[in-house]
Amino acid sequence: MEIKTKEVKLNYVYPEKGCLLTQAGDVEIQNRIFTDYAILAVNDDESNWKDITIEEADQIKAEQERMAEEQSKNNE
């Protein structure tokens, strides 16, 4: 048996004060996520994330909830 030790470098991205992070690219509204930090994968880049105000995020979350409720009603 062999034990190997590796050091791993993690890159974190944080939004500006009063903001959250969300995907920078075009994402369907129901798939858009919001977070207060992101850990970048090896092949990820900070340009894949952008700041969004908490107020903007709340508006989009409300729309996501509305869309989910509408879809739920349509599936009944």
Higher pLDDT, 51 or 9: 51
Asked if 60 and 29 touch (Cβ cutoff 8 Å), the reply is: yes
pTM of the model: 0.81
- 19 has which bridge partners? 53
| pLDDT tens track for 16-51 | 999 999 999 999 999 999 999 999 988 899 999 999
Helices (H), 1-76: 54-74
Q: What is the pLDDT of residue 72?
A: 84
Half-sphere exposure in the Cβ direction for 2 (13 Å, CA): 2
| pLDDT grade for 74, boundaries at 50, 70 and 90 | confident
Q: What is the pLDDT of residue 46?
A: 95
- Give the domain ranges of the chain: 11-74
Q: Which of 50, 48, 61 is nearest to 14 (CA)?
A: 50
Q: Is 52 helix (H, G, I), strand (E, B) or coil?
A: strand
